[in-house]
Amino acid sequence: MRGRDRFHKFKTVLDIVIRILRLFPRPALKYAWTLTDLLPDTAGVAMRYCLLKCLTLSCGDNVFVGRSVEIKYWERLRIGSNVSIHKQCYLDACGEIQIDDEVSIAHQSSLISFQHSWEDESLPIRDNPVVCSKIHIHRDVWIGCGCRVLAGASIGSRSIVAAGAVVTRPVPSMTVAAGVPAKIIKSIRKEGHYERSVGT
């Protein structure tokens, strides 16, 4: 049985759990998130989904999150449906992160929506203000393991980011990006297929 089939089978139960969890304060829910790593696989996935529904700005259906995923600024994170975020990923949504439907993010990847500034020479770089910029992962994107998607980056629909890449700028739709910094190495567009802009 596929994950989305299992989700729809147990959706009623999950909705009840979500309604109960919403009675608890946010700090308690965030603490509960750290405890889900102790649960068996299926129970842990189910509980993390329910907590996402309570803590994020928005969360769709059938969202898989693996163990040891760390999230900062939950209230600025949007997640679509049929999304998978695998173990040991790190998401800092200081500048907002939007992940659309049908996205897969492999293990040990990071999405960091802020960067340090350094213009004020009277202060150490670490004490300069941070600059927050939105990250947008469009529909049907696969991000390989160990990738870094940095502030202001967007990844167009039906694109692939190769393992270990560092994305610092927009990636067009239907392309493969790889390297440090990430560059377009291949188009996966079929002849005659209409190109949509990254912003659509």
Rounded Cα distance between 20 and 105, Å, is: 29
Is residue 26 assigned to a domain? yes
Residue 156 has pLDDT above 70, yes or no: yes
On whether both 7 and 23 belong to a single domain, the answer is yes
State if pTM tops 0.85.
yes
- Among residues 38, 55, 72, the one where a domain terminates is 55
User: Does any domain span residue 196?
Assistant: no
Which of residues 40, 55, 70 is at a domain's end? 55
Amino acid at 180: V
Q: Are 94 and 75 spatial neighbours (Cβ–Cβ below 8 Å)?
A: no
Q: What is the CATH number of the domain that holds 163?
A: 2.160.10.10
Both 32 and 51 in one domain: the answer is: yes
In the structure encoding, which two tokens stand for residue 179, read together? Answer: 């390297």
List, in sequence order, the alpha helices (H) in the chain: 3-9, 11-21, 26-35, 41-55
**H or E element that contains 122:** none
What's the rounded mean pLDDT across residues 101-106?
Answer: 98
* Residue positions annotated with a catalytic role: 116
Model pLDDT for residues 5-42, shown as the tens digit of each residue: 778 788 899 999 999 999 999 999 999 999 999 999 99
SS3 102: coil
Residue 66 lies in a domain: yes
Number of domains, the chain: 2
